[in-house]
């Protein structure tokens, strides 16, 4: 991994404006020296566009609604040539958590530890950097 | 010996058995309440200030009401079992409300779809279409008064207290007007209609901020219009219900929650005084029904409810010179903290709900909603909802809790905490005034910073292991795990709402609807009370999105002071 800080895009997929959780995660990521771009409440298309334009290493989604949007975003990222992994937090049913995890998406429901979130972000960003390096 | 027994039998210093690796207390324990008030190992008469003893010599039902709103409390006025409910289509919401009422709920709260109701968007708005899967997840999709008719069909609204929806300020005028219209069509005398639309600033501008909404100053005008209208025409309706709950669940601590509550109320009452059409005493009842949170600090939460009543009485007496004692009585709706409910080991939340509900009862609440045990997972399943009602019924009937008012009155600890919370809350109130008042602290983001600091502190305490949460940072490995399947609601809410919307636009008198919207826009621009024109617009079957278009045109969008 280069000395440049890894870059994470954070966005909310729904129009639910609760902000307590996302700002706590954002703070933890910044304190862990990530560069965090906060997109706010955005559509799947807006999230993919920002991730591609900003060449982020990781996309963090706050889910306040249903979850099919996550797979849509992953598919569209890949279609547009971005290998950025996706991690998800928010109010997520156990059955949805299992489904997303089975497709390799890290899921952090309420009560997740910040330490775990940061460690996962670090691991995923390193992986992302290796992929970029191989692509070059 | 299992980890649970080992951890539980230790005195003071929690053991590390069952704790996640790396968790566990890193510093010597300090004993404080969750808002940071230091706790002694025991309390005595010297811990209660003399002026506080004077206050609590007044029995329940007498000013300053510290000991209770009513003389006999639950003997004469059982608390209302009052649960948030709603999802999917109007029919789904109606069935859930009926289910709860049949199982012993004594009032009902309508939850509306967050995207369409809170944002005032129709279901064909591009922002909604882009997220059509989400529609109906957080509440029913209510497009017009027609959908209110559907939800309320078969529900006796003449004698059942209701929260009509409209928790978000810009939605409240429409939501209230729809509910009142259904009542009027049924021949109910609106002067006798009881309920609330809430219209809460703490939700709207602090805890859950919409992508698009009218700025707080215009929201304040809406609420003053509502207060004026209800005082004249619907004296039993609570036009605004300040939900300090939402401030607390965003991160404000107990005394900040109280200080913000009083500062919010002062903003409304100052506004009424400036309009000089009504006396503060006339509107006091309408503003004096509030919503506080109980969470997992049992004695502090009880003290908080007692302090709230005392502060309210003082605010109305000293700041507004209200002489009628009854007009200085605060009524409190308690919702147990959603944020205290855990995702892991969800059945543990039944114990948490019971404790938080017990604190509400011992603090003298007038109505109560207990969060579902699946709160952290999804919207409540029918079973979780039923459980919340059952918890309340057990509290009401089984443990002999209701015979005596203010049973903890005179406890040195509880009186000491009540006095200290009140003192600190007034300091916070003054701090808000120095920042320009409650609305100014929302516009500037000052209050958001305070909440954010509180939320971070609470998170750090769990992260460091200074605060133990069973199943979260301790005792995670259940020998016999029990998984709750998250309730998914219905998935056809968007499709069916699109069909209803098309039919509505086809069938209604479009000229009458357009004319009513023009009149409403004129009222918005002129400063005339909007509730008259809003009622006419509702009668002309305008949609929630059309109301939103008017508001967005006239008032624009709030420049939100935080990024998230």
Confidence of residue A128 (pLDDT cuts 50, 70, 90): confident
Beta carbons of B131 and A13 less than 8 Å apart: yes
Beta carbons of A17 and B211 less than 8 Å apart: yes
A-B C-beta contacts closer than 8 Å: 111
Answer for the pair A96, B137: CB distance below 8 angstroms, yes or no: no
Beta carbons of B455 and A22 less than 8 Å apart: no
B12-26, B133-147, B357-371, range with the lowest pLDDT: B12-26
Among residues B267, B281, B116, the alpha carbon closest in space to that of B202 is found at B267
Q: What is the pLDDT of residue B462?
A: 96
- CB of A43 within 8 Å of any CB in chain B? yes
| Beta strand ranges found along chain A (DSSP E) | 7-12, 35-41, 58-63, 86-90, 106-108
pLDDT tops 70 at residue B170 = yes
- Please report residues of A whose CB lies closer than 8 A to that of B488: 93
CA atoms within 13 A on the CB side of B564: 26
- Dig out the tokens for B529 from the structure: 């009370």
Q: Give the three-state DSSP class for B237.
A: strand
Q: How far is CA B230 from CA A11, B194, B260, B274, B531, in A?
A: 40, 11, 24, 18, 9
- Please report residues of B whose CB lies closer than 8 A to that of A39: none
Among residues B391, B400, B449, B375, the alpha carbon closest in space to that of B75 is found at B400
The domains located in chain B, with CATH, are 76-164+175-189+486-564 (no CATH), 241-464 (3.20.20.240)
pLDDT tops 70 at residue A56 = yes
CA distance B152 to B160: 11
Alpha carbon dihedral B510, B511, B516, B521, in 10-degree steps, equals 100
Confidence of residue B481 (pLDDT cuts 50, 70, 90): confident
CA distance A108 to A91: 9
Q: Give the three-state DSSP class for B161.
A: strand
Give first-to-last CA distance, chain B, whole Å. 46
3-state SS record for B94-120: HHHHHHHHHCCCCEEEECECHHHHHHC
CA distance B271 to B477: 54
Among residues B496, B456, B483, B466, the alpha carbon closest in space to that of B113 is found at B496
Average of per-residue pLDDT values in chain B: 94
Q: Give the three-state DSSP class for B386.
A: helix
CA distance B468 to B16: 10
Beta carbons of B131 and A15 less than 8 Å apart: yes
- Dig out the tokens for B480 from the structure: 């016999």
At A36, phi and psi to the nearest 5? -115, 125
**Cis ω on the peptide bond leading into residue B64 (within 30° of 0)?**
yes
Confidence of residue B26 (pLDDT cuts 50, 70, 90): low
- Dig out the tokens for B60 from the structure: 């329940």
CA angle centred on B516, ends B510 and B522, rounded to 5°: 140
Share of chain B above pLDDT 90, in %: 93
pLDDT tops 90 at residue A3 = no
Beta carbons of B485 and A93 less than 8 Å apart: yes
- In chain A, where the domains are located: 7-130
Burial class of residue B58 in the structure, from the number of CB atoms within 10 Å of its CB (0-12 exposed, 13-18 middle, 19+ buried) = middle
- Please report residues of B whose CB lies closer than 8 A to that of A20: 207, 249-251, 339, 451-452, 455
CA distance B55 to B58: 6
- CB of B459 within 8 Å of any CB in chain A? yes
Q: What is the pLDDT of residue B480?
A: 87
pLDDT tops 50 at residue B364 = yes
Confidence of residue B498 (pLDDT cuts 50, 70, 90): very high
CA angle centred on A132, ends A126 and A136, rounded to 5°: 145
Confidence of residue B384 (pLDDT cuts 50, 70, 90): very high
- How many Cβ atoms are within 10 Å of A135's Cβ, its own excluded? 8
Answer for the pair A105, A88: CB distance below 8 angstroms, yes or no: yes
CA distance B12 to B10: 6
Measured in angstroms, the CA of B417 and the nearest CA of chain A are apart by: 28
CA distance B205 to B293: 18
- CB of B22 within 8 Å of any CB in chain A? yes
User: Is beta strand B195-196 parallel, antiparallel or unpaired with respect to B161-163?
Assistant: parallel
- How would you label A75-84 residue by residue, b for 16+ Cβ within 10 Å and e otherwise? ebbeeeebeb
- Please report residues of A whose CB lies closer than 8 A to that of B339: 20
CA distance A46 to A61: 12
Measured in angstroms, the CA of A7 and the nearest CA of chain B are apart by: 17
Whose tokens are 């004129």? That residue is: B522
Among residues B68, B28, B112, the alpha carbon closest in space to that of B305 is found at B68
In what helix (H) or strand (E) does residue B369 lie, and over which residues does it extend?
Answer: strand B367-369
Q: What is the pLDDT of residue A2?
A: 58
CA atoms within 13 A on the CB side of B186: 20
Chain B residue at shortest CA distance from A23: B564
- Dig out the tokens for A80 from the structure: 């547009």
CA atoms within 13 A on the CB side of B378: 25
For residue B134, give the nearest of A14, A22, A94 by CB distance: A14
Measured in angstroms, the CA of B361 and the nearest CA of chain A are apart by: 28
pLDDT digits (tens, 9 = 90+) for B242-301: 999 999 999 999 999 999 999 999 999 999 999 989 999 999 999 999 999 999 999 999
In what helix (H) or strand (E) does residue B293 lie, and over which residues does it extend?
Answer: strand B289-294
Confidence of residue B20 (pLDDT cuts 50, 70, 90): low
Q: What is the pLDDT of residue A131?
A: 80
Arithmetic mean of pLDDT, B422-440: 98
Beta carbons of B134 and A95 less than 8 Å apart: no
In what helix (H) or strand (E) does residue B544 lie, and over which residues does it extend?
Answer: helix B544-555
Q: What is the pLDDT of residue B7?
A: 35
pLDDT digits (tens, 9 = 90+) for B57-108: 999 999 999 999 999 999 999 999 999 999 999 999 999 999 999 999 999 9
Whose tokens are 């811990």? That residue is: B47
Confidence of residue B417 (pLDDT cuts 50, 70, 90): very high
Q: What is the pLDDT of residue B23?
A: 52
| Beta strand ranges found along B46-200 (DSSP E) | 80-85, 107-110, 161-163, 195-196
Name, in order, each residue with C-beta under 8 angstroms of B150's C-beta and a sequence gap of 6 or more.
B90, B91, B94
**CATH homologous superfamily, domain A7-130:** Cobalamin-binding domain (3.40.50.280)
Answer for the pair B448, B206: CB distance below 8 angstroms, yes or no: yes
CA distance A120 to A88: 11
- Please report residues of A whose CB lies closer than 8 A to that of B483: 94
Among residues B64, B537, B119, B515, the alpha carbon closest in space to that of B326 is found at B64
Q: What is the DSSP letter of B71?
A: S
At A49, phi and psi to the nearest 5? -60, -45
Name, in order, each residue with C-beta under 8 angstroms of B212's C-beta and a sequence gap of 6 or more.
B119, B120, B548, B552, B557
ipTM for the complex? 0.95
């Amino acid at each position: 991994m280069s000395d440049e800080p890894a870059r994470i895009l954070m966005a909310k997929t729904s129009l639910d404006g609760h902000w307590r959780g996302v700002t706590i995660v954002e703070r933890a990521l910044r304190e862990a020296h990530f560069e965090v771009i906060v997109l706010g409440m955005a559509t799947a298309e807006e999230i993919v566009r920002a991730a591609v334009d900003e060449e982020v290493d990781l996309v963090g989604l706050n889910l306040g609604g249903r979850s099919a949007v996550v797979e849509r975003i992953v598919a569209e990222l890949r279609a547009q040539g971005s290998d950025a992994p996706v991690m998800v937090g928010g109010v997520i049913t156990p059955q949805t958590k299992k489904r997303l995890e089975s497709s390799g998406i890290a899921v952090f429901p309420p009560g997740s530890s910040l330490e775990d979130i940061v460690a996962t972000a670090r691991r995923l960003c390193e992986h992302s950097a290796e992929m970029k390096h191989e692509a070059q | 010996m299992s980890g649970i027994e080992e951890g539980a039998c230790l005195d003071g210093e929690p053991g590390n058995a069952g704790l996640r690796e790396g968790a566990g207390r890193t510093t010597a324990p300090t004993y404080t309440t969750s808002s940071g008030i230091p706790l002694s190992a025991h309390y005595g008469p010297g811990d209660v200030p003399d002026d506080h003893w004077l206050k609590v010599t007044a029995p329940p039902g007498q000013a300053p009401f510290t000991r209770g709103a009513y003389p006999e409390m639950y003997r004469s006025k059982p608390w209302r079992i009052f649960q948030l409910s709603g999802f999917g289509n109007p029919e789904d919401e109606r069935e859930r409300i009926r289910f709860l009422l049949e199982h012993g709920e004594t009032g009902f709260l309508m939850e509306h779809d967050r995207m369409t109701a809170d944002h005032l968007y129709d279901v064909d708005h591009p922002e909604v279409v882009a997220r059509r899967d989400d529609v109906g997840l957080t509440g029913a999709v209510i497009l017009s008064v027609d959908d209110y008719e559907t939800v309320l069909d078969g529900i006796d609204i003449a004698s059942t207290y209701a929260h009509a929806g409209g928790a978000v300020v810009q939605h409240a005028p429409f939501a209230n007007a729809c509910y009142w219209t259904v009542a009027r069509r049924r021949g109910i005398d609106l002067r006798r209609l009881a309920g609330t639309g809430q219209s809460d600033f703490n939700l709207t501008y602090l805890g859950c901020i919409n992508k698009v909404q009218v700025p707080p100053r215009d929201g304040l005008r809406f609420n003053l219009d509502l207060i004026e209208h209800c005082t004249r025409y619907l004296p039993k309706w609570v036009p605004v219900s300040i939900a300090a709950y939402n401030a607390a669940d965003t991160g404000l601590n107990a005394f900040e929650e109280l200080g913000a509550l009083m500062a919010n109320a002062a903003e409304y009452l100052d506004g009424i005084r400036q309009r000089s059409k009504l006396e503060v005493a006339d509107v006091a009842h309408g503003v004096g029904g509030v919503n506080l949170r109980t969470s997992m600090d049992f004695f502090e939460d009880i003290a908080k409810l007692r302090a709230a009543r005392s502060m309210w009485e003082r605010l109305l007496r000293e700041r507004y010179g209200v002489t009628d004692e009854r007009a200085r009585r605060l009524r409190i709706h308690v919702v147990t903290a959603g944020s205290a409910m855990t995702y892991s080991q969800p059945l543990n939340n039944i114990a948490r709900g019971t404790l938080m509900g017990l604190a509400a009862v011992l603090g003298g609440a007038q109505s109560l909603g207990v969060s579902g045990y699946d709160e952290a997972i999804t919207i409540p399943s029918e079973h979780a909802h039923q459980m919340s009602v059952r918890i309340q019924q057990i509290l009401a009937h089984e443990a002999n809790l209701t015979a005596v008012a203010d049973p903890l009155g005179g406890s040195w600890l509880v009186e000491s905490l009540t006095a200290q919370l009140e003192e600190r809350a007034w300091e916070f109130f003054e701090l808000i005034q120095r920042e320009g008042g409650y609305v100014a602290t929302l516009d500037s983001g000052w209050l958001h910073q305070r909440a954010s600091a509180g939320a971070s502190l609470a998170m750090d305490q769990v992260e460091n292991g200074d605060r133990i949460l069973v199943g979260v940072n301790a005792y995670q490995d259940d020998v016999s795990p029990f998984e709750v399947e998250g309730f998914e609601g219905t998935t056809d809410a968007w499709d069916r709402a699109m069909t209803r919307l098309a039919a509505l636009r086809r069938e209604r008198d479009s000229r009458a609807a357009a004319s009513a919207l023009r009149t409403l826009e004129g009222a918005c621009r002129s400063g005339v009370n909007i509730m008259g024109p809003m009622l006419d617009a509702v009668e002309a079957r305008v949609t929630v999105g059309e109301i939103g278009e008017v508001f967005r045109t006239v008032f624009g969008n709030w420049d939100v002071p935080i990024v998230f």
